[in-house]
Amino acid sequence: MKCPYCDFPESKVVDTRPTDEGQSIRRRRECIRCGKRFTTYEKIEEVPVMVVKRDGNRQAYDRNKLMNGIIKACEKRPVPMNVIEKIVDEIEKTIFNSLEKEIKSTDIGEMVMKELKDVDEVSYVRFASVYRQFKDVNSFLDELKKLLDDNE
């Protein structure tokens, strides 16, 4: 690490501490030439993931958008917030571990439905009704029949 005072390219680490709940590392360094100390921060480089919408538009992945959609589906249902956060964490882990730079919004929607199906069936149907854009009562009933068949 180059010294900010004398531009010497070598320094030694004097102290290391995690910061931001372990999301980054703070290092106190000392220049080998001039002896002055300075602080550096190391953070994992995150690859931005783009979400490809149904109409082909792309937008940056937004955790809050995912969280809000699930919260809305679970509104007035006995689904604790920590369960919703766990669902979002699992979906994020899947998205970022794929190492893909783009993901279809439909793939995210399927992941949400898979998770909600095991947590709360009413929330699952609510999410499915928006996600699948049911055009009429019959398409809604078809989804309910699938749910009932899976439970048998």
Write out pLDDT tens, residues 27-57: 999 999 999 999 998 877 677 899 999 899 9
The model's pTM = 0.63
The structure tokens listed for 96 are: 């970022």
Note the pLDDT of residue 140: 67
The structure tokens listed for 2 are: 């180059």
What is the rounded distance in angstroms from the CA atom of residue 51 to the CA atom of residue 49?
A: 7
Write out pLDDT tens, residues 76-87: 999 999 999 999
Above 80 in pLDDT, residue 132? no
Write out pLDDT tens, residues 82-129: 999 999 999 998 998 888 899 999 999 999 989 998 899 889 888 887
- Report the candidate in 61, 75, 152, 148 with the shortest Cα–Cα distance to residue 111: 61
HSE, side-chain direction, 13 A CA sphere, residue 24? 11
Note the pLDDT of residue 76: 92
Residue count (the chain): 152
Q: Where are the domains of the chain?
A: 11-43, 50-151
Above 90 in pLDDT, residue 68? yes
